[in-house]
Amino acid sequence: MRSTRCSPRTRRATLPDPLPSGAGEDAHFRALERLYAAAPINRLFESILEIPARGVARIRFTIDERHFHAGGAAHGTSYFKMLDDAAFYAANSLVTDRFLLTTAFNLHFTRPLRAGPVVAEGRWISGQRRVFVADARLIDATGEEAARGTGTFMKSRIALAGLSGYGSR
């Protein structure tokens, strides 16, 4: 097992051992990115998922007036969706056979999101078998953190290989 930095803080976590040689870790990451792009919900939230490494996910999206509440800033649904997705895909990047499900998510708003580009950064924290914990943060166009969240994700009975989008190229 390897040690890796798991958050901007000083905590450290140990990543599970890499996939066996030839198992296609990069192929798994690209398949998860395709799965994300194929999800019907993402027709409402134009966004791009990138999985650059095991336990790390990044979602780039743009907030515009369609996402605003009556007060002129992004509604909490935008915060939750992107934080949950970034944390989820960071965790699911470590699991090659099953789709994970969110079992809990804790969200902290730190500043309003206005119109402009936003990045959701997700990072695996712990868990290696059935339950995984990952956190995520939203970074606005000025480079400031707008929200942070931590989620718990559990392996489901849903095989990744059977999901539309995961296996297609």
User: Per residue in 66-119, pLDDT tens?
Assistant: 999 999 999 999 999 999 999 999 999 999 999 999 999 999 999 999 999 999
In the beta sheet, which residues pair with residue 160?
A: none
Residue 2: the pLDDT is 42
Specify whether the CB–CB gap between 148 and 161 falls below 8 A. Answer: no
Q: Residue 145: is it exposed, middle or buried by C-beta count within 10 angstroms (0-12/13-18/19+)?
A: middle
> 10: pLDDT confidence band, cut at 50, 70 and 90?
very low
pTM: 0.86
Calpha distance 4→114 (Å, rounded): 33
pLDDT tens digits, 67-81: 999 999 999 999 999
For residue 158, what are the contacts with CB-CB under 8 A and spacing of at least 6?
A: 98, 99
